[in-house]
Amino acid sequence: MRSNNKDKERKSFRAIEKQFQEFQAKIGIQFENEKLLKQAFTHSSYVNEHRRKPYEDNERLEFLGDAVLELTVSKFLYLKYPMMSEGELTKLRAAVVCEPSLVTFANALSFGELILLGKGEELTGGRSRPALLADVFEAFIGALYLDKGLDRVVGFLEKVVFPKIDSGAFSHVMDFKSQLQELVQRDGAGSIEYKILQEKGPAHNREFVSTVSLNALELGTGTGRSKKEAEQHAAQMALEVLKNHIK
């Protein structure tokens, strides 16, 4: 019986090793210290069930990863949005590093499949629990920072997180109209005007198209589920145009 248990453990260990090798190949990063990588995915319930073996859970790495994420995301936002106030930057960063966002990033790379869980946690759906997935993402960032340094963390975020910001996934917490107004007033460039060009679709699924002009020169067009959202997207485009012109 003891021999059968050992055989099962060996098979389980080999399966875990294979999973982590495939994961590293998938993300294009090979860890120097693979113990760090495994620790990032090790839940405390797994450690509790394997007390005779030197496993360590991911809670300390989570603490470190949280700080590294805040720093790297803060720098990205600071450089990308030079017209944003401190309060707006704080609000946007909070949206990027909040639990639902971290869960989205983790799910995009199938982090849940790699988590080492205790049997009880597994049976109660821990593998897909949002808080657990968010913690694992932070722990992975912490492990990557220790193993490869800050530049490699930024390189990873440039593939997984920053494109989401660029695509407007967090535009609901950003006030582009205020930024545009501030930029124009600062430079004394003239007056801004928004126009709703089009309303289409049924009442329950309306779509609006807006333009924004500076001194009658159209700078951006945006669409949205409301007039306000369409204007915000038009202002976002106008800001990009003006920033490129300033460069």
How far the first Cα of the chain sits from its last, in Å, is 72
Q: Which residue matches tokens 């700078």?
A: 219
Calculate the CA 207 to chain-centre distance: 27
The answer to whether 231 is a known catalytic residue is: no
CB-hemisphere CA count at 13 Å for 84? 22
CA 95 to each of CA 73, 163, 241: distance values in angstroms, whole numbers, following the listed order: 11, 15, 25
Whether the CA torsion 232, 238, 242, 247 is positive or negative: it is positive
- 3-state SS, residue 30: coil
> Residue 105 in contact with residue 74, Cβ under 8 Å?
no
Q: Among residues 66, 121, 135, 231, which one is catalytic?
A: 66
The answer to whether 66 is a known catalytic residue is: yes
Distance, in Å, from the CA atom of 81 to the CA atom of 111, rounded to the nearest integer, reads 30
CA angle 235/75/27 to nearest 5° reads 100
Q: Among residues 57, 121, 135, 138, which one is catalytic?
A: 138
**Those residues with Cβ within 8 angstroms of residue 183's Cβ, 6 or more apart along the chain or in another chain:** 83, 189, 239, 242
Which residues are tagged catalytic?
66, 138
